[in-house]
Amino acid sequence: KNEVEQSPQNLTAQEGEFITINCSYSVGISALHWLQQHPGGGIVSLFMLSSGKKKHGRLIATINIQEKHSSLHITASHPRDSAVYICAVWSNNDMRFGAGTRLTVKP
Amino acid sequence: NAGVTQTPKFRILKIGQSMTLQCTQDMNHNYMYWYRQDPGMGLKLIYYSVGAGITDKGEVPNGYNVSRSTTEDFPLRLELAAPSQTSVYFCASSYRRVAGELFFGEGSRLTVL
């Protein structure tokens, strides 16, 4: 079993829908990242959080340390949000990555 | 500000050939990393460096070598390429080792035939 599990693996939504991507981890962590990988491959960091909640535009990331779970929410989704979203955790001085969630938002 | 720059973006190698993936960053980050990304799998750490002259193995180092002669550059060398090294490679850098935000290059897609 992977130390970082994401669900769902694939997600298709209609433009305007509220989207939730989940991340569960089984190791102790010092921080959790949400990354975005667009078609064409580049990866950018969306959020780094170790507690609570962060918001940037239409994106919201939450983490529950006790439950070892994080969620990434996208409000009013748009086709340009189509990408692979990757959850990664810092644990024991190493970063461990989930396999990613492929999101497709249809117009 | 270019961030992290990787070259080449695409390369096809024959079994047994060698090549170097170049990575340079202009953010004066001490920490640099090489990852590989295989379909359906999370990114795996190949090698990392905590500063010029200092490198260490990650989770999947076999078949690769690195060097770090300057803060800016962190090339990854593939010796005797094998089909198992077909992957997408990402270079990244960060300003601190633990819980530091990672800045990624655009990736290099390597195919070994």
Average pLDDT over residues A80-104: 93
Residue with tokens 């990354």: A35
Q: Do A90 and B98 touch (CB under 8 A)?
A: yes
Q: Do A99 and B41 touch (CB under 8 A)?
A: yes
pLDDT of residue A84: 96
**Secondary structure of residue A53 in the 3-state scheme:** strand
Q: For chain B, which residues score pLDDT lower than 50?
A: none
CB-nearest partner of A2 from B42, B102, B103: B42
pLDDT of residue B55: 96
A95 burial level (CB within 10 Å; 0-12, 13-18, 19+): buried
Q: Do A95 and B88 touch (CB under 8 A)?
A: no
Does A79 score more than 80 pLDDT? yes
Beta bridge partners of A48: A33
